[in-house]
Structure 1
Amino acid sequence: MDLNIIDGSAVWAQSMAQALAAAGCEVTVLLKAPVRTDRLTEPLTRTPGVRLLRPYEDKLLGDLGPRGLTPEQAVALIRARDARDPFDLVVVRGRRLAGLAAQEDSLSGRLWTYLTDFPHTVGEMSATATTELTEIAVASRFLLCQTEELRAFLESNVPAVCGRAVLFPPTVVVPEGVRADGEVHASARLAYTGKFAPEWNTLEMTGLPEELDRRGVDSEVVMIGDKIHAEPADWAKRMRRALESTPGVDWRGGMSRAEALTQSAECGFGLSWRDGSMDASLELSTKVLELGALGLPVVLNRTPMHENLLGADYPLFVGEDVDSVADAVARAHNDRSVYADAAERCRAAAAEHTLDRAAERLRGLLDEALPSAPAGTDPGLPLKVVVAGHDMKFFTRLAEYLTSLPGLDVRIDEWEGLRTHDQYRSRELAAWADVVICEWCGPNALFYAKWKRPGQRLIVRLHRFELYAEWPRKLEIDKVDAVVCVSPHYASLTRELTGWPDDKVVVLPNWVDDRQLERPKLAGAEYSLGMIGIAPSRKRIDRALDVLAELRRLEPRFTLSVKTKQPWDYWWVWNRPEERAFFEQSYRRIQRDEALAGAVVFDPFGPDVATWLRRIGFTLSTSDDESFHLAPAECAASGGVPAMLPWPGADTIYDTEWIHEDPVAMAEAIHDVVAGGRFVETAERARGQIVGSYGLSRVRSLWVDLVVRGKRPDGTEAATAAAAP
C-alpha cells in the first residue's frame, strides 16, 4: 500500500502495524513508495516496536520505478530480509502479492494473508481464481477475514480455506480525547473522508446541501481527501468542479488521519453512502467504524452486513437516490431521539474494533501460531516424534499442532495404503524416534511394535474400524505403552474383545475446534435440524425423517438440512442390495410424504462445516451405533443443541439431557425448547459442556502430556513398555 495516499488500504496498513506492535510483535513495515508525505508514516515512527523499511530512500534495489515497488520486488525484499533475520510471520495484503508470496517455499506456513481484491460472487469465482486462492490458502497460516460474510464465502468456494480463515475485523484508532459533542446543531454538517470515486457516490453527496435546504435544513458537507479517481475522465472533471464550486460543500483536501478524524468530530453526521452495486461487498468500511467511534451517526446503505452491525431498524439506512439520504438526515436532524439512537448504535458497534480489541485478537492468533515449548522439553534437544498411518484425516490437526511446538521434532510416515509404505524410510524413522504415534491400529502398529527400540514409547490410536479386524489380535501389547480410544464405551469394548490390560487402554476424546465453530447463528436457525453424513444405512436417516415429520406436525417451520455424500458415492454401500433398498425407500418417502416434501435440503459434503452450522439449530444423531459421533459436539460448539438417540455409549460422551428415548420424544423436546423461548440458554449450556470436555485446547494438552511425559488423562504415568530384543 502507498502510504502517501489516505485510503482504506493505507489506513489498514497503519492500523495493522500498530495492532501487531500492541500485541507484542517487533514489526517491520515495508513501504511501497518513497515518503512524499508523512501523514501516515509519522505516527508509525512514534510507535514503539515499529520500524519502517524504506526501499527508495535506502536504495535497497537498483531498478525501482516511479510508481512504487512491484509485487515481485516486494517479495524479493521480504525474502532477502528473512534470510538475514527470519520473520516469525509475514502479513501480506493483496491478491497479486499474496499469490507470489505463496509460491515461495521459504515463506510457506508463515504467511498471514489479508485478501480483498478477489471475486465477491460465485459467478466471478472462476477456476483460475479458485486455484490461485487455494495456493494462497495452503501457504498461509491464517487467512484474515474482515467479516463473517467474507469468511463464509471463501470457505464455501475454496475448501483449502477451511480451518485457516479467522475473523479479523477492521481496527479503528481514534486520537485521544477526540469525540463529537453529541448535540444536534442548528446547521447539519455532514462529514465524508476518503477517496472520491463513482461507486462511493461522492459526486452525488455534493447535491445534499441543496436537497436538505428544500426540506428546511441548513447544511454543509465537509469533504476530506485528495485522491480523485481519474476514470472516467469526464466524471473526474465534474467531481473536482463540484468540490471546488458547489455551495454548501467544504473541500478541505488531504490531511493526516488524526487530523481528518478531529475535523470530522466537529460535524454532526458521517457519510458512508455508496452505489447500490457495492451492496454485495463482503468488506466492512473502516470509515463507518471510525465515524461511529467519534460518536457520529452514519448514513449508509441497508445491507445484511450493516443490519447485523447496527440492527435492522437502524434509522439512517438509505436507498440509492439522494432524496432518501436527505430524508433520513432531515428526520434525524429534526428528532433528537432518532439522532441519539443512531449515534449510540454506531458508537457501540465501533467499540468492538478498537486497537486494544485488535491486539487482543492478535495475541490469541500468536499463541495459536507460535505456542511455547511444553514443560519438560528442550528446544535445543527436541523430543523426536514420528506419526505413522495410512489415513491422517482424523489426526491432521493434532499432528500440525505437535509439529508447531518448540521442543518437539515431528516427522510424518504417511503410508500409501494399509500395508503399502516405504519400508526403508519407516525403518529409519523407527530407529530415530523417541516416541511413535500410530494412527490406526493396523499394519503400521504391527510394524513399529516389531522394530521398537529400548526406551522408545509407542502409542497406538484405535478406531472402530480396526476393533473387529485381525490386527489388534496380532499386536504384541507388551510393546505398546498406550492404546488410545476416543470414548469410554469403546475403551471398555476394546478391553473386552482383546483382553488387553486395563492400564494399557486410555481415553483421549475427539476434539472440537470450538474457536472456529463459534460464529453467530443466522436468523431462524432454531427451526433448522441438521445431519452430517447419512451413509451407510446404520446412520438411520429414516429416524431423522420421523423426528422431522413429528416436529412439522407441531410447527411447520421446521426443516432438515443434510450435509453428506450420497450413498451412491460409496461403491461399497451402493453395491449392497439392502443398502440401496434402504435409501431408495427413504428418498421416496421424502418425495411423497406431505409432511416432508419441500422440508429436506441436501447440501454438498465438504469441510465448510463451521459455515454450514451457522444456519443449524439442532444436529441429530440417530445412528444404530457410533464410536463418538463428532457432529452433535460440533453443533453444540457452534451455538446449537445436540439431539441423539441412545446408541451404545452415547451417555459416556454426552450429557443425558441431550439423549432421547425415541424420535417422538426427541421431536417433543426440540419443540419445547424452541416454543418455550429457551433455545439460546439451552445452546449456551450445551456449548459450555462440550468445550469443557472436548475443546481443542484441552484435548491438545492431554495429547502433549501423553506424548511428552507419558502422562495419562487420570494423572498416572506409564512405565515404558518392553522393548524388542
Structure 2
Amino acid sequence: MSIRALVYGDVDLNIIDGSAIWAQSMTQALAAAGCDTTLLLKSPVRTDRLVAPLVGLPDVTVRRPYEESLARDLGPRGLTPEQAIELITTLDGRQRFDLIVVRGKRLASVAAHTDALKGRLWTYLTDVPQNVPDLSVTAVTELTDIALASRFLLCQTEELRGFLESAVPAACGKSVLFPPTVVVPDGLTASGTAHAPLKLVYTGKFAQAWNTLEMTELPAALAARGTPAELHMIGDKIHRDSPEWAKQMGKALENTPGVVWHGGRPRAEALELSAQCDIGLSWRAPELDASLELSTKVLELGALGLPVVLNRTPMHESLLGADYPLFADGDLDAVADTIALAADPDTYRTAARRCAEASARFTLDRAAERLRSYLGLAFPPRPEGTDAALPLKVVIAGHDLKFFTRLADHLISLPGLEVRLDEWEGLRTHDQYRSRELAAWADVVICEWCGPNALFYAQHKRPGQRLLVRLHRFELYAEWPRKLDIDKVDAIICVSPYYADLTRELAGWPADKVVVVPNWVDVEQLARPKLPGAEYTLGMIGIAPSRKRLDRGLDVLAELRKRDPRYTLAIKTKQPWDYWWIWNRPEERDYYERAYRRIQRSEALSEGVVFDPFGPDVAVWLRRVGFMLSTSDDESFHLAPAECAASGGVPVVLGWPGADTIYSRRWVHESTEAMADAVHAIVTEGRFDAARDAARAEITENYSLRGVSHAWTRLIVAGEHPEPVRLENVGGALTQP
C-alpha cells in the first residue's frame, strides 16, 4: 500500500507567486516520490492556472472545500488556519494520512496543538523570524512547539536550517533541506542570445521591497545609455500595504513607455512569455538581502536559460559564484549599468550558463529523490521475521535515554514492532508497578545502562523473554555488573571492541555474550557545506572532566599557530563549574585554573581560542570546523571526531587505549606534536579535500545511523550479533588518503 500524503498551504492558488507554486510543486514531488497525494485548497477556485495541471495526474487528488462544501461558515478569503486544521482532522479521520505537509507559521502552530496530528506533520518553514532581534521568547516557544509536533521541519536553505537549529534546540535532528522545486515544460528554453531591443522580464507579485516600481524606470534608464529595452511584467497581485504606492504601481504598469504588462497568466503561459525575453529581474531592496530564503522565480528563469539580475548576497554568491557578472549592487543607475553589461555576448553567455547550472540542482526529479530519502527514514520497511498482525513487543528501560533516543525513534517507526518506554526518574528511582507490568508484557527488554534497571529486569525476566543490556564506561567500574545475573542476559552491548574486551576481562562474563554495536553517527544530518576557512579551525566538543585533556588541545594549537596564525581552536562545551561533581574536586578546579590562566597569558592562545555554548546544534557548529581533536586520556568511543568526519572534516586522534579499534590508523597519532604535523601537512599540501572525503567515507561505512539502526534491529528481532567493524589500517598520519 502506498504512503498517503496530504498537502495544505496557507496560500491562495489563484495568485501566482512563490508560495502558490510551492503547493503545486510539492504535490507533484510527493506524487513522483510514490505517495498517494491529496492537495487541499484554501480558497475557492477563481482561476485554475495552478490547479489545472494537477487534475488528472496519477495518484493526485485535489480537494476543493468551497465547491465540495467540505466546511461551514467559509469566508471570502479562504479557510482560516483553525478551519483548515479542523477540516484536515476530519478528512484524516475518514481515511488516515501517513504524513501531512503544512506551510504557514500560524497554521503550523494550530496543527502542533492538535494531538491527532502530532508526529505526522512535515512542516515547511518560511514565514518565521530570520534574524536574532525578531526571535522573541514567544516566537521561540511557538517554533519549539511546532518542532516537537513535527516529524520533519522542511527548510528551504542551509542558512535557514542553521539559523533555526541555533535558535530552537528542538529543531536539531528534525530539520531537513527541501529547496524550491523548479518545473518547466519540456523543451521550453530561451534563445540563448540577447536581442535588440533588450527584453527584460519580471514575474510575481508587485511590492515595494521587491523594487517593482523602480523596475518600470529601467527602459528609460537603459535608453539613456544607448541600450534600447522593454520590460515585460507578469502578475496581477499588487500589495496594498501603502495605498499611495499601490496606486503608483498600477499607473506605472499601465502607462509607462517601454513597459508591457501581461497581467496574471497561467503558469505555463507565464513561462512561455518569459522564455521569449532576454534577461530576468530579481532586484530587491537591501533589507531583503538578509533573507534566508531562495527565490523560486530566479531558479525558474535560470531553468529557461535566462540570465538573472539579482542582489549580491552570500546565498546568491554560493548559488552562482562570487564572480557572477549580473549582480545588481546599488540604486537604479547601478542596476541599469549592470544590465547594459549583458549586451556583451560573452558576459551574457556566462551569466546564462551559471543560472542554468544552478537551476539544474532544483528539478522535480531532485525533489522527488530527496523526498524518497525522507520517506525511507520516516517509513522504514517491516523487518524480516516480524509480523505486522502480531508485533514483537519491545521495552526500552533506563534513567537517561539521551544516547539511545534516535535508535528508539527508529525502532518505534518500524512496522512489526510495538515499543514502549520505561523512563526511570533516576538511577534507582522508578515506578515499580509500571516496570513490573512492562516486564510481564515484553518479548524483548533493552536496558540502556547496566545499572539498577538491568538488575530489576534480570530479576523479573520471564522464560522465553530476551534481555539486552547496553553497558557504558560509567558502569564498568561500578558495583552493578558484579551483581548482574549474567545467565539472565542474552547480550551485553558495548560500543567499541576495546571496551568489549575490557568488559569480558573485568566482569568475567562469557565472551560470546559481549557484543559490539558501535555508536551511531547521523551522517545525513551532519553532511553540510563547510564555511570558508574551515581548514584552519580545530574543534573540541566537551572539555570536562580533566581527563578530556584540554591542555593537550592547547599544545596542538600553540604548535600550529607558530606556523600559521590563521589556525584557531573552537571549543563547544559546558564549563567545568557547570558540573558540581567536577568543580567540588580541588584537583579538577586546579587543573582548569591552570589551563585558563595559560590561555589568558599567552598572546597566541588568547587570540586563537573561542568558547562556544554547549547545545544540540552540533551540525551547524561543525560547518566551520575542519579538524576535530581527541586528546583524552581514555574514551569508550568518542563520537566528536566521527561527527566531524561525517560533516566533511578530519579526525585528529591521540592514541588513547582502543582508539585504533574505532578509527583507522591514518587518523591516530602518537603525540600532540604529531597531531600538529598531520594537520599542517594536510592543509599546506592541498590534501584537505582528499582527507575529509576519506574520513567521511570511513564513518559512513562503519557508523552511519542507518547501518547501526539495522544492526540493532537484527539483534532485537533475530538475536543476530553484528559483524565487527573492519578498519583499513593504512599507515601513519602523513600517508595520503
Same fold (TM over 0.5): yes
Q: Determine the structure 1 residue equivalent to 2:555.
A: 546
* Superposed CA offset, 1:519-554 (max 9, x none): 000000000000000000000010000000000001
* Matched-pair contact (CA < 8 Å) for 1:385–1:408: yes
* Matched-pair contact (CA < 8 Å) for 1:445–1:460: yes
Alignment of 1:584-603 (within 5 A): 584-603=593-612
Q: Determine the structure 2 residue equivalent to 1:711.
A: 720
* Superposed CA offset, 1:164-218 (max 9, x none): 0001100000011110010121221111000000000000000100111111111
Q: Determine the structure 2 residue equivalent to 1:723.
A: none
Residue 640 of structure 1, aligned match among 646, 649, 660 = 649
* Matched-pair contact (CA < 8 Å) for 1:275–1:320: no
Aligned-partner Cα distance in 2 for 1:671–1:591: 25
Aligned-partner Cα distance in 2 for 1:230–1:157: 32
Matched, 1:43 2:53: yes
**TM-score scaled by length of structure 2:** 0.96
Matched, 1:302 2:312: yes
* Superposed CA offset, 1:133-185 (max 9, x none): 00000000000000000000000000000000001100000011110010121
Residue 622 of structure 1, aligned match among 617, 623, 631 = 631
Alignment of 1:678-697 (within 5 A): 678-697=687-706
Q: Determine the structure 2 residue equivalent to 1:143.
A: 153
Matched, 1:123 2:117: no
**TM-score scaled by length of structure 1:** 0.98
* DSSP 3-state at the match of 2:492: strand
Residue 222 of structure 2, aligned match among 205, 212, 219 = 212
Q: What amino acid is the match of 2:400?
A: D
Q: Determine the structure 1 residue equivalent to 2:77.
A: 67
Aligned-partner Cα distance in 2 for 1:176–1:88: 32
Alignment of 1:444-593 (within 5 A): 444-593=453-602
* Superposed CA offset, 1:436-494 (max 9, x none): 00000000000100111111100000000000000000000011000000000000000
Of the structure 1 ranges 114-123 and 289-298, higher mean CA displacement relative to structure 2 is found in 114-123
Aligned-partner Cα distance in 2 for 1:460–1:269: 64
Matched, 1:428 2:437: yes
Deviation at 1:231, TM superposition (A): 2.0
Query: Which runs of 5 or more residues in structure 2 are unaligned?
Result: 1-10, 725-737
Residue 161 of structure 1, aligned match among 167, 171, 178 = 171
Residue 621 of structure 2, aligned match among 589, 612, 629 = 612
* Matched-pair contact (CA < 8 Å) for 1:540–1:623: yes
Deviation at 1:28, TM superposition (A): 1.1
- How large is the Cα RMSD of the aligned pairs? 0.7
* DSSP 3-state at the match of 2:616: coil
* DSSP 3-state at the match of 1:595: helix
Aligned-partner Cα distance in 1 for 2:718–2:306: 57
* Superposed CA offset, 1:536-594 (max 9, x none): 00000100000000000011100000000000000011111111111111111111112
Q: Determine the structure 2 residue equivalent to 1:271.
A: 281
Aligned-partner Cα distance in 1 for 2:383–2:197: 63
* DSSP 3-state at the match of 1:42: coil
Aligned-partner Cα distance in 2 for 1:621–1:167: 30
Q: Determine the structure 2 residue equivalent to 1:344.
A: 353
Q: What amino acid is the match of 2:526?
A: L
Aligned-partner Cα distance in 2 for 1:504–1:20: 45
Q: What amino acid is the match of 2:434?
A: R
Q: Determine the structure 2 residue equivalent to 1:227.
A: 237
In the alignment of these two chains, the number of paired residues is: 714
* DSSP 3-state at the match of 2:53: helix
Q: Determine the structure 2 residue equivalent to 1:241.
A: 251
Q: What amino acid is the match of 1:590?
A: I
Aligned-partner Cα distance in 2 for 1:560–1:22: 45
Deviation at 1:320, TM superposition (A): 2.9
Runs of 4+ residues over 4 Å off in structure 1:
none
Q: Determine the structure 2 residue equivalent to 1:134.
A: 144
Q: Determine the structure 1 residue equivalent to 2:4.
A: none
Deviation at 1:605, TM superposition (A): 0.2
Residue 438 of structure 1, aligned match among 427, 447, 453 = 447
Q: Determine the structure 1 residue equivalent to 2:733.
A: none
Aligned-partner Cα distance in 2 for 1:218–1:54: 47
Deviation at 1:714, TM superposition (A): 3.5
Deviation at 1:68, TM superposition (A): 0.7
Q: Determine the structure 1 residue equivalent to 2:422.
A: 413
* DSSP 3-state at the match of 1:51: strand
* DSSP 3-state at the match of 1:41: coil
Aligned-partner Cα distance in 1 for 2:349–2:723: 57
* Matched-pair contact (CA < 8 Å) for 1:200–1:275: yes
* DSSP 3-state at the match of 2:500: helix
Q: Determine the structure 1 residue equivalent to 2:708.
A: 699
Query: Which runs of 5 or more residues in structure 1 are unaligned?
Result: 716-725
* Matched-pair contact (CA < 8 Å) for 1:224–1:253: yes
Aligned-partner Cα distance in 1 for 2:164–2:338: 35
Q: Determine the structure 2 residue equivalent to 1:257.
A: 267
Q: Determine the structure 2 residue equivalent to 1:389.
A: 398
Q: Determine the structure 2 residue equivalent to 1:20.
A: 30
Aligned-partner Cα distance in 2 for 1:101–1:579: 49
* DSSP 3-state at the match of 2:365: helix
Q: What amino acid is the match of 1:288?
A: V
Q: Determine the structure 2 residue equivalent to 1:721.
A: none
* Matched-pair contact (CA < 8 Å) for 1:509–1:694: yes
Deviation at 1:497, TM superposition (A): 0.2
Q: Determine the structure 2 residue equivalent to 1:720.
A: none
Identity of aligned residues (%): 70
* DSSP 3-state at the match of 1:556: coil
Aligned-partner Cα distance in 1 for 2:563–2:54: 61
Q: Determine the structure 2 residue equivalent to 1:87.
A: 97
Q: What amino acid is the match of 1:43?
A: P
Aligned-partner Cα distance in 2 for 1:557–1:417: 46
* Superposed CA offset, 1:598-619 (max 9, x none): 1100001000000000000000
* Superposed CA offset, 1:486-505 (max 9, x none): 00000000000000000000
Deviation at 1:245, TM superposition (A): 0.7
Aligned-partner Cα distance in 1 for 2:358–2:58: 28
Of the structure 1 ranges 42-51 and 349-358, higher mean CA displacement relative to structure 2 is found in 42-51
Aligned-partner Cα distance in 1 for 2:127–2:663: 44
Q: What amino acid is the match of 2:533?
A: G
Aligned-partner Cα distance in 2 for 1:100–1:237: 36
Aligned-partner Cα distance in 2 for 1:66–1:203: 29
Deviation at 1:7, TM superposition (A): 1.1
* Matched-pair contact (CA < 8 Å) for 1:31–1:55: yes
Q: What amino acid is the match of 1:273?
A: W
Deviation at 1:46, TM superposition (A): 3.0
* Superposed CA offset, 1:665-688 (max 9, x none): 110110000011110111000110
Q: What amino acid is the match of 1:253?
A: G
* DSSP 3-state at the match of 1:596: helix
